[in-house]
Structure 1
């Protein structure tokens, strides 16, 4: 089993023996590193990080290179859990980065319910040494904890070499490591209706049922816009220019949108598109992601798209 594990290693793939000395370490096999499923998972996690931290103007490009110093993890923890730790914003030295990671991971492990340290698949040393396997395990656990509705690529597995270095030499074995769980057969057999967006399901029902839901959402909208002396009568058309949508989001989320950021009286589709794009970006910044809605859909008065956005706001804020 030992033979062939590290044949023809590239310079950057060589094993740091001092790092491994006296402990077991998992190394992803070269063939698994090229697995399209792993690539999709990495891309999904990078996209999740960037969409979550968009308002912070933090952009990650590589899981291996952008998380080891604690900056991204610190901001994710703050954004997702509302936790503000007394750590350096930018840790430049290795010692400072390790100290920062110690504080962040201690808090994260509590939030993730990782009480048994022997079962945790990441630690300060691994994250700081840019260990891809440990970094992915940590990020997947964070997604599952803080945004369980987010779908990650399922059934992602990698072959890993479990390496143990001692004075007598290297002992290695190959195992399969599960990064995301399998999609069970019963979930694959779900009908299209069960997997469909709730608004898509609604629009297939009788007209009077659709109207009942639209009236409830319309009442919610007007209730929250009344102190601005605004009234929506036609849900299908009045959100197309993005103005009322922006004002509604600001009202519900409790922030003011500067008038110079959008067109208060849009005169063409380009200005309308700017408004709606800003509105959807703001929703994303607040952690409210609306699936399969393009800004142009709203501008084009697509009923389903408009309802999806309003329903998401209704679901989050109704009754508060």
Structure 2
């Protein structure tokens, strides 16, 4: 990060103002969690387009990800080149995208906390502000970690030389009681939205709390599978082919699923997908709501999708 400070100072000497996150803040658990949630959100949104983001600073600067997010979230498909290789092409592409995106977000270039130059220079603070605003306006049902703030160092040139100062900048706001109430009533306050909110909120917690929740679900599963001589140790992996899920549903709901109805030893993704689809259909028929879980997510070992299905079963049968 020393190199980043030197870059800011050099730009300040050239008459520019720059600011950046204090390096010590980059280890803040809340900031790390916010970055993880945003990366997961982007990857889930762009999964149908096979785009994977690993790092917010390194993967958004050329406009490719922002272009596809704009298309998926706002149905805006701009006539720009898919992959911009040169710096000139990237900046030009970002300019087109940012103009439309700012309009969708209801911000002007003057009051936005980001611009083409900052995004292209991989400025983390500007990138975070942009993504958080996109979530608020284009995906308001996504819960972000509240009260995330960072110390920002600002460089500025004056007659006596380089001046720097520090201030605290808020990236996400706190969650008020009214926000919590309204969040509980998303989509009319039905059972489906409650379960979806619970799992989404769970994934915002500390890793040890997520682990404790998963262990509780595993205990519930193994308690009800013991009579079959089966045990689950790797939740996402062992439920991915649908077999264990179908057997668990049969145990909990008290009926036998004919072996001819599913593949007991699936050898392809298609057979796994068929098993999981059957399991979700049975849950739907028995009025066990699991939200908008896609069978492919279970097959792909998506932890949130798997937990959402198992939690729905746990809620109904936890007394067993």
Asked if TM exceeds 0.5, the reply is yes
The equivalences for 1:274-293 within 5 A come to 274-275=273-274, 280-281=293-294, 293=305
* Among candidates 152, 155, 179, match of residue 160 of structure 1: 152
Distance 1:13 1:277 in 2: 51
* Among candidates 114, 119, 122, match of residue 127 of structure 1: 119
Q: Does 1:173 align with 2:185?
A: no
Aligned match of 1:209: none
- Alpha-carbon distance change, 276 to 173 in structure 1, aligned in 2, over 3 angstroms: farther
Question: TM-score of the superposition, structure 1-length normalised?
Answer: 0.61
Aligned match of 2:131: 139
SS of residue matched to 2:110: helix
* Among candidates 58, 61, 68, match of residue 54 of structure 2: 61
Give the deviation of 1:113 after TM superposition.
0.4
The equivalences for 1:68-217 within 5 A come to 68-115=61-108, 117-166=109-158, 168-184=160-176, 198-199=190-191
Give the deviation of 1:266 after TM superposition.
2.2
Give the deviation of 1:273 after TM superposition.
5.3
Aligned match of 1:249: none
8 A Cα contact 1:273 1:296, kept in partner: no
Q: Does 1:302 align with 2:309?
A: no
Q: How many residues align?
A: 231
Give the deviation of 1:282 after TM superposition.
6.7
8 A Cα contact 1:273 1:295, kept in partner: no
Question: TM-score of the superposition, structure 2-length normalised?
Answer: 0.61
Distance 1:86 1:165 in 2: 40
SS of residue matched to 2:43: helix
Distance 1:26 1:138 in 2: 16
Aligned match of 1:41: 34
8 A Cα contact 2:8 2:19, kept in partner: no
| CA RMSD in angstroms, aligned pairs only | 3.8
Aligned match of 1:30: 23
8 A Cα contact 2:273 2:295, kept in partner: no
Relative CO higher for 1 or 2, CA cutoff 8 Å, sep ≥ 6?
1
- Alpha-carbon distance change, 302 to 163 in structure 1, aligned in 2, over 3 angstroms: same
Structure 1 spans left out of the alignment, 5+ residues: 1-8, 204-239, 242-263, 285-290, 306-320
- Alpha-carbon distance change, 63 to 301 in structure 1, aligned in 2, over 3 angstroms: closer
SS of residue matched to 2:7: coil
Q: Structure 1 or 2: larger helix share?
A: 2
Distance 2:82 2:275 in 1: 33
